[in-house]
Amino acid sequence: MHPLDLYDQWRRRLLRWLPVRQAFDRTPGDVAPHGSEDWLLEPIDADEACRLFPHLAKDRAVLQYQKLRLQMREQDGRGF
């Protein structure tokens, strides 16, 4: 067994006994910004959508931008 594997096993066993909550063990609700600071909740800006998707017509760009934002919310676990 590689020495780094041994160290990793030892470290995991040690951390399991410590009562410290790790920063990476947070839920999406803990990490999500407050509603007033969440840019994903802001109304969609058609100009921004057209700049992000210049190859699409305006209504298709807005639709694609909406899909992108919903996908980002789903990935972050923020819900719809």
Q: Compute the chain's Rg from CA coordinates.
A: 21
pLDDT at 76: 72
What's the average model confidence in pLDDT over 8-15? 85
Winning range, highest mean pLDDT, from 4-13, 31-40, 49-58: 49-58
Q: Which two tokens stand for residue 54?
A: 């210049």
Is the predicted pLDDT of residue 25 greater than 90, yes or no?
A: no
- The secondary structure of 5-37 as a DSSP string is HHHHHHHHHHHHHS-PPPGGG--HHHHSPPGGG
What is this structure's pTM? 0.54
Provide the residue ranges of all domains of the chain, joining segments of one domain with +. Answer: 3-76
